Amino acid sequence: MKLNESTFQEIVNLINRALKEYRRPADSAVVTDLHIRPVRESGEVTISDDDRDLDSIELPELADIPEEDFYGIMETELRRALQQIDAKSPMDKLAIWKPFSFVLVDDENETITELMLIDEDTVLASQTLMEGLDADLDKFLSELLSK
């Protein structure tokens, strides 16, 4: 299941409104991560930094998503929205100290998953890019030390 296009665009607009505060000169950069909290029952999506809510919106379509699929669908759609925004206005230009992340959280602000990691010269929007990294590094180190 995907969100309909108008709901998806409302999420993009919500994220852009929340980011407006961080599109300023880098000399006023802050240390924070950005949290996106969708609530299936109410349809509310809130974006907050470490200290406060930045913006929110109610999206009635969220209540139609089956509970067992909710966070998986939201993860996919939020990543797609973040990638679209980053393509138009790079996230690494935000006045937030790097690295920082966009994090999907539940209604109790517990982390579900990291949606996007922004570093000085890297934007990672997929967890699959990091899967197996520990095993690869361990294998590399073992081979290096055995020589």
Q: Decide the pairing of beta strands 100-105 and 34-38.
A: parallel
Mean pLDDT of 96-122: 90
pLDDT tens digit sequence for 52-86: 999 999 999 999 999 999 999 999 999 999 999 99
Mean pLDDT of 79-102: 92
How many whole angstroms separate alpha carbon 86 and alpha carbon 47? 17
**pLDDT band at residue 143 under the 50/70/90 scheme:** confident
Tell me the CB-side half-sphere exposure of residue 90, using CA atoms within 13 A. 9
Q: Dihedral of the CA atoms 53, 55, 58, 63 (nearest 10)?
A: -50
What pLDDT, on the 0 to 100 scale, is given for residue 87? Answer: 92
The least confident of 27-31, 55-59, 113-117 is: 27-31
Would you say residue 129 has pLDDT above 50? no
Number of domains in the chain: 1
Task: Using the structure block, give the residue that is written with the tokens 């959280």.
Answer: 105
How many whole angstroms separate alpha carbon 35 and alpha carbon 104? 6
* Of 29-33, 38-42, 125-129, highest mean pLDDT: 38-42
Read off the pTM.
0.81
Domain residues for the domain of 35 are 5-145
57 neighbors 8 (Cβ within 8 angstroms): no
What pLDDT, on the 0 to 100 scale, is given for residue 36? Answer: 98
What pLDDT, on the 0 to 100 scale, is given for residue 82? Answer: 96
Among the listed residues 25, 21, 82, 84, the one whose alpha carbon sits nearest the alpha carbon of residue 48: 21
